[in-house]
Amino acid sequence: MSAVSRHPLARVSVLARRETTTVLTTRAFGLFVAALAVLLAGLVWGSGAAASGYVPAAVDLLPALELLVPLLAFTVGYRALLDARLRGELAVLSTFPVSRATVVASVLVGRGLALALGVAVAMFPTMALVWALGGPTTQLVATHDGADSIVLFARLLSATTLFGLAALSVAVAVSAVASGARSAAATLVGLWLVLTAAVDLGLIEALGAGYLGADGVLTVLAISPSGAYRGLVLQTVVDVATAGSIRAAAPLASVVGLLGWLIAGFAVATRSIWRG
């Protein structure tokens, strides 16, 4: 530890590797990823979207991903700092020249890498299924609008990974302030419901009452992690393939919104990590 302590990036690297290994060697994580892979592939197979192309597959996958990816992120992060505090690891780390930000960053980086790998593994069978069953056009890498290409699935994967990282950051923040596993789970579920259902319902009411115009709704939608993710996928995957015939979100606002939740979770966790 003394050799590492002089180099902040080295500290993050050492601690992050341990976090990644911890997640990847957890049986529950592997089972969740495997179940998610089977579910996603079965969904596009059963609906017939696998034979239709990447865009129909993305449309069918979106509701499931919007619900299940946060659950995967929560299982990865909701006890990350809580368990370390209960085992006394945080108390030991506090005696070393390691900053709070370094500890939280290592948790987010390490567990984020594991989560990103899990999301990719879970979505790969679906991509392969569409590639195999979708006909010659899905086997080409097209770069122009209106073409159903594997590039669009890569965009779906990128947006889903960013969404998962935002959810993970919220989970880690909750783990820093919770006093126990049950309170962490309850707080996280309640907070996520507020960030999703409550914001969406509020936007509907605001639009109906005339407080927001259509353009305003597209921007404010990015406040909700789920709303930002949904709009980002519709705008960068579905709308691109339909040559700009729909307008579902402000892509920049959606990306900023998801990054904002990632940064906010990091800030809350950093402020609260040494408590108690």
pLDDT surpasses 80 at 262: yes
Task: For residue range 18-30, list pLDDT tens digits in order.
Answer: 999 999 999 999 9
Q: What is the pLDDT of residues 200-254, one digit of tens each?
A: 676 666 666 666 655 666 667 778 899 899 989 988 888 876 665 566 567 888 8
Q: What is the pLDDT of residues 46-88, one digit of tens each?
A: 988 888 888 889 999 999 999 999 999 999 998 898 888 888 8
Global pTM exceeds 0.85: yes
pLDDT, mean of residues 170-193: 85
**Average pLDDT of the residues of the chain:** 83
**Mean pLDDT across 139-152:** 62
Task: Give pLDDT, residue 191.
Answer: 82
Q: What mean pLDDT comes out for the span 34-56?
A: 92
Average pLDDT, integer, range 133-152: 62
> What one-character-per-residue DSSP string does the chain give?
-TTTTT-HHHHHHHHHHHHHHHHHT-HHHHHHHHHHHHHHHHHHHHHTGGGT-HHHHHHHHHHHHHHHHHHHHHHHHTTHHHHHHHTTHHHHHTTTT--HHHHHHHHHHHHHHHHHHHHHHHHHHHHHHHHHHS-GGGGS---STT---HHHHHHHHHHHHHHHHHHHHHHHHHHHH-SSHHHHHHHHHHHHHIIIIIHHHHHHHHHHTTSS-HHHHHHHGGGSHHHHHHHHHIIIIIHHHTTS------HHHHHHHHHHHHHHHHHHHHHHTT--
The confidence score (pLDDT) of residue 108 equals 96
- Residue 3 has a pLDDT of 41
For the chain, domain boundaries: 8-272
